[in-house]
Chains A and B, each alone.
Chain A
């Protein structure tokens, strides 16, 4: 069942990611992002950039940012990855990676974040009093979920972080770092599904497809 789910997700990614806009970010002019959101095609030139942020915990955040003040549109895609993967071509999905997207315009705004994340080991120790009757004994122990694998955690609800408002959303990102004339660029594609309000307590899907970017990494 899990295998089918993954295959289906990847299939959706290919179908959504391909789209009418094609998928060749190498042909884009520098600092260009194109995409189709909710059926509408967009092209942004010169209003975007990439950035790399060291989070200081062995993780780096890669960001593709867009801010078009004329059209009043802002978009940001971020991916947190282990620092030893910096430089690799990345194929990420929000179901398994710390991948987020925000989009704001006058007509449409949404956030996509992982609906499920694994809790981090922050070193917490729980205390337990095991000696109520005779002599009080406080014992400390580490979380049981540290010994569980991903599937066990999900099944038991131990060591997991869920965000139900993000269920039904998805995000896929392919990011390729490219060195071009001494400057670093991010090139790649993205696609996904967000959910936005549609009537009382309802939502509707917003499809993001054909997303391509070629952005210069700033602050190098």
Chain B
């Protein structure tokens, strides 16, 4: 246990105002791809389904339009229960959902001086928007990507730049021995908490696909943090003095890569012995897809219960379609190299903002070569190349997509981790946009077909 944490409750009132201010700062930096690019790719996917897709695509699009009040019914929101009962239409639900996961306030972290869901321009929820396919770091040293999942999510010790200086290190140093709320629903100190699902709690909710991420029992009075020895969320990083996280892991190739193997055995003089491993983006996507879109929140037991889906083909309403729309955010992020090469740095935010300035401002149906990156012939080609089609699990579709993104960096002229020139960014950005559109088409098709399959 870390006695320093006792201080933090007294700091709550003082820090909250600053957190709100921090949320205003660098808003794009925390919203991957970014906002309008996510929305546009979702809308382009709908257009593709309507005009270029297969009969099944057109039928799936029509089904979704029928359930959301038409194609586009005015307004920009996607929650028909927001007071006026308006059905906003499929386009608006798709656009709003594609960016919604960036607006949750659901990962609350606590350390000596700060407490909240964001700081220094980072909405902490974005750490659940990664999938780690790395086998080595930037130095060529071995990284372990599968501690708790087939592919883990973000972690400082598992990121591309580890252990060198850069934004990942600076953030790890900033967070250091902080711990996270693991029972958000009962966190009374989480005064600004916000999730799109009732009683949202990412630490548990995103524990999908057989994740073995150790949680322990919540503690810390109203904060409900995961502070138990040997658990994942008891330490963001243990990277420099005072290195007082609770646990010690094991090394692989000279780097600490296997976490929590020696609970309570951390020493204060060795760095990087303990660290959090976040759930990967496909786990978050699977949560919204299975537990809320398909099942309507009926089981919430980290697996698909087809019995809960029965009848929803007929009864599903617009409010449930938004959870399918939210899955598309992760589809989009899985097309960004940095989200798969597991880094907040290496030109991450600059690249996403570069795409946002162009594709994010594209005119629908336009032909501006510097903005209209959507190319439906390319989308069709990407769709034909997929091994995982709509009957496969959503996590497999996203994982295959992530593999394509990982490999893209090796293609000559597409490496946006090391290069900032326009030619490289345009090649990679155009590819990412069409890959995102294709994956969104596939997941929308899958959503409707699953409802029908289990009806």
Binding site for B on A (CB under 8 A): 49-51, 53, 55-57, 59, 61, 63, 65, 67, 69, 72-74, 76, 78, 80, 98-100, 102, 104-114, 117, 119-120, 122-128, 141, 143, 145, 156-165, 196-197, 199-201, 203, 218-219
Contact = CB atoms under 8 A, between A and B. Distances in A.
Q: Which of A107, A111, A156 has the most CB of B within 10 A?
A: A111
Q: Which of B24, B139, B345 has the most CB of A within 10 A?
A: B139
A219 B242 CA distance: 11
24 contacts: A49-B242, A50-B241, A55-B164, A61-B165, A61-B240, A65-B241, A72-B7, A72-B10, A72-B113, A74-B111, A80-B164, A98-B165, A100-B169, A102-B174, A109-B120, A117-B166, A119-B418, A120-B164, A124-B410, A145-B419, A162-B350, A165-B121, A197-B21, A218-B269
A196 B19 CA distance: 11
Given A119-B346, A124-B418, A145-B419, 18 more contacts: A61-B240, A63-B240, A76-B176, A98-B164, A102-B170, A104-B174, A106-B15, A107-B18, A113-B167, A124-B409, A126-B412, A126-B413, A158-B421, A161-B345, A163-B349, A164-B349, A165-B29, A196-B25
Contacts of B255: 56
A104 B269 contact: no
A113 B119 contact: no
Given A65-B241, A197-B24, A106 B421 contact: no
Contact of A111 (B14, B24, B120, B140): B120
B112 A74 contact: yes
Contact of B18 (A65, A109, A145, A157): A109
A106 B25 contact: no
A49 B417 CA distance: 35
Nearest to B254: A56
B121 A55 contact: no
Nearest to A49: B241
Interface residues of B, number: 65
Contacts of B147: none
B139 A120 contact: yes
B173 A165 contact: no
Contacts of B171: 111
A4 to B, nearest CB: 24
B181 interface: no
Contact of B241 (A63, A106, A117): A63
Contact of B419 (A76, A117, A158): A158
Nearest to A50: B241
Instruction: Kindly list the 8 A-B residue pairs having the minimum CB-CB distance in the complex, ordered from nearest.
Output: A219-B269, A98-B165, A157-B421, A197-B25, A106-B14, A157-B420, A65-B241, A126-B412
B418 A55 contact: no
A107 B13 CA distance: 11
A69 to B, nearest CB: 5
Interface string B3-33: 0100100110011001001101111010000
Contacts of B409: 124
Nearest to B175: A102
B62 interface: no
A111 B112 contact: no
B14 A69 contact: no
Given A109-B114, A197-B24, A201-B27, A128 B412 contact: yes
B412 A109 contact: no
A122 B140 contact: yes
Contacts of B140: 122-123
A114 B163 CA distance: 15
Interface string B135-176: 010111100000000000000000000011111011101101
B4 A67 contact: yes
Contacts of B114: 104, 109
Interface in B391-420: 409-413, 415, 417-420
B112 A69 contact: yes
A124 B176 CA distance: 31
B347 interface: yes
A184 to B, nearest CB: 14
B165 A102 contact: no
B430 interface: no
Contacts of B120: 109-111
A203 B25 contact: yes
Contact of A57 (B139, B268, B421): B139
Given A104-B113, A128-B412, A145-B418, A161 B241 contact: no
A128 B353 CA distance: 27
Contact of A80 (B165, B268, B346, B353): B165
Contacts of A160: 418-420
Nearest to B137: A122
B12 to A, nearest CB: 9
A72 B242 contact: no
Contact of B170 (A49, A65, A111, A143): A111
A62 B320 CA distance: 52
A177 to B, nearest CB: 16
A218 B139 contact: no
B99 interface: no
B211 interface: no
Q: Which of B136, B269, B422 has the most CB of A within 10 A?
A: B269
B14 A122 contact: no
A63 B176 CA distance: 13
Contacts of B424: 157
A196 B17 CA distance: 13
Contacts of B119: 109
Interface string B84-114: 0000000000000000000000000001111
A96 B314 CA distance: 62
B173 A78 contact: yes
Given A78-B165, A158-B419, A163 B345 contact: yes
Interface string B251-267: 00011000000000000
A65 to B, nearest CB: 4
B271 interface: yes
